[in-house]
Amino acid sequence: MSRCRAIGVFGGTFDPVHFGHLRAATEVKEKLGLDDFRLLPAGNPPHRRGTHADGVHRLAMLRLAVADHPDLAVDDREVRRRGASYMVDTLSEMREEAGDCPLLLMVGQDAANQLDKWHRWQDLFTLAHIVIMTRPKASHDYSPTLAAQIDRRRVKQFERLYEQPAGRVAYLEVTQLAISSTEIRRHIAAGRSPRFLLPDRILGYIGYHRLYTGG
């Protein structure tokens, strides 16, 4: 397969987006040589108890984060759709856009450990490659079924992700930044400053809209 235009998708709640996300996104995009790389905020994630800030705010913060970085794009389809949205549906839509070109879904190790809790999770592998990024405090912790899927599909060279449109799994090391949105929300709720964990501009947005004051 000639090297066609692959699409990389980095999904998350981004509640709020922080330097852990942004640094990982930058490194993954560069290491995989992706021209089309999108950060995709979840609308109303069904596998979690809900988000803290509304999708419109989470989307606005992501847009602020990438405003000066045109190589990172934001895909707003899940937030626009409102209601429950499933990654499997989003990937099905993107598969149409990608044609026979590779589609790559990026997940951190903690999210990868939970992959078999996602709606129609087995279908994710037929729609996209899964790229698992290292994350502090998260080690491999798979159910036996998920472990079997990952082992079977695992490749060590990233080039192999370009040989077919979907179906492979690769691990990618990113700079370890032990930053989480949970920790940032806790700082804010406790009246402490989360500065230097996320861009100042987003901190300004959070303050202006009084987000996360209740945790």
Name the residues that contact ligand ATP, by CB under 6 A.
12-15, 20-21, 24, 107-108, 110-111, 133, 135, 174, 177, 179-182
Closer of 136 and 204 to ligand ATP (Cβ): 136
CB of 45 to ligand ATP, least distance (A): 9
Instruction: Tell me whether strands 36-41 and 73-74 are parallel, antiparallel or unpaired.
Output: parallel
CB of 42 to ligand ATP, least distance (A): 8
How far does the chain reach from its first CA to its final CA, in angstroms? Answer: 48
Q: For the purposes of burial, counting CB atoms within 10 Å of the CB of 93, is it exposed (0-12), middle (13-18) or buried (19 or more)?
A: exposed
169, two tokens: 């799994």
Closer of 2 and 50 to ligand ATP (Cβ): 50
Closer of 24 and 79 to ligand ATP (Cβ): 24
Cα 160–chain centre separation: 21
Closer of 49 and 163 to ligand ATP (Cβ): 49
Find out whether 206 and 197 touch, Cβ atoms under 8 Å.
no
AA identity, residue 120: R
CB of 107 to ligand ATP, least distance (A): 4
14, two tokens: 């981004």
CB of 63 to ligand ATP, least distance (A): 15
Cα 194–chain centre separation: 21
CB of 2 to ligand ATP, least distance (A): 30
CB of 182 to ligand ATP, least distance (A): 3
Give the residue at shortest CB distance from ligand ATP.
108
* CA dihedral sign, ordered 103, 177, 150, 152: positive
3-state secondary structure of 133: strand
